[in-house]
Structure 1
Amino acid sequence: MAEESLWTRIVREDPQHSQRYVQRFRDMAAAGADLDGEARMVDAMLPRGARVLDAGCGPGRVGGALARAGHDVVGVDVDPVLIAAAQEDHPGPRWLVGDLAELDLPARGVAGGFDVVVCAGNVVAFLAPGTRGEVLRRLRAHLRPGGRVVCGFGAGRGYAVEEFLADARGAGLEPDVLLSTWDLRPHAPGSDFLVAVLSPAGGAGRGPGGDRAEDRAEGPG
């Protein structure tokens, strides 16, 4: 079993935390807030009908928007309350409960080979420190050749930019672009947010067991 993440610990200590989180975003959506900024950037990176893995999808905000833009979306999150909300609020994508530190979609009947893996909403900052490198390795493993990983998180959350980039390189991912916002402003020393677009250093991603993800058993999604 993977090391307990910060999110899992928060929910264990406060069982209503997830439901309040869901309601907060439902209220923002009802008030007309723009919740699709991350999805707009990712959509601009993709051809129509691309495959997208929303890693740490929460209640489906980003993946839902990308599905409405015409992409084939699979979302994974460790929190079943958030997955239930995603299924209710954003029907269409395939939403799955799962720990990113143990991510192996082909073993669950979902083919790898994603054009983009997006990890937004400070997800990487909620990971258990001991699992960060493994999560990044598994995200890379689910890419198709030429695919990219996009991660965004804020400073001051216990995961320094330099540490994240070192973990990414250790997982076989190299930065293509570093930004300070989802609307494409450049990253600079002292920026309070990082959006990193990463590509595999060695080309095609490989499956969690070492074989190419696209060569493994295919299934829905």
Structure 2
Amino acid sequence: MAVPSVYGETQTADPQSFDRFARDYDRFVSLLPGQNTAWLLGLGLKGGRALDAGCGSGHAVEALADSFEEVLGLDLSSPLIRIAQAAHANRLEQGWNVPGAYLLLDRPDSEGRWGAYVGKATTPGLRHRVLQQLKDRDHWYRALLIRYEINDDETLNSSQAGWLEGRLYDHLANARRIDLHNHNRPRDCASGLRGG
């Protein structure tokens, strides 16, 4: 990538130059919360979709999330993107610490195949389990969390979460473009959800 200098000469910049100090960059930007995004929020922009090209560790993406239906952050630095994804996962409300099932996806490869992992969470719940997965393995691209919610008092029990995990696994095991990271099919011990 060519970058013009103040003297009219052209300098070459490494597109992944932030990779080497991604965590330090994120810590620096985090020292003054809101100051690097105040100007952006001051514009009063709202709408359906927003794109933050060169999003870094995602501070502007997070700031715009309340004003747009969808915000996409792009950056050439994989370490900065991983920091942004982990920060986004930490925004999961405590209400997600309930039993349920989850699906984690890798980015698709050049042939359009997805790596996937199916799991369940009982106690302390989905939020805790998915945050642990993201901490242990930073390659996950997307997460789908499934919980049962009719009211605050009723949640899936361990058997029901296991049944759901097994059904998700079965469907994905038969998909042509999915490679499951699970080495064994999850065992379930429930006959189904709600009278199934």
TM-score norm. by structure 1 comes to 0.31
Question: Which structure has more helix as a fraction of its residues?
Answer: 1
Which structure would you say has the larger RCO, counting Cα contacts within 8 Å and 6 or more residues apart? Answer: 1
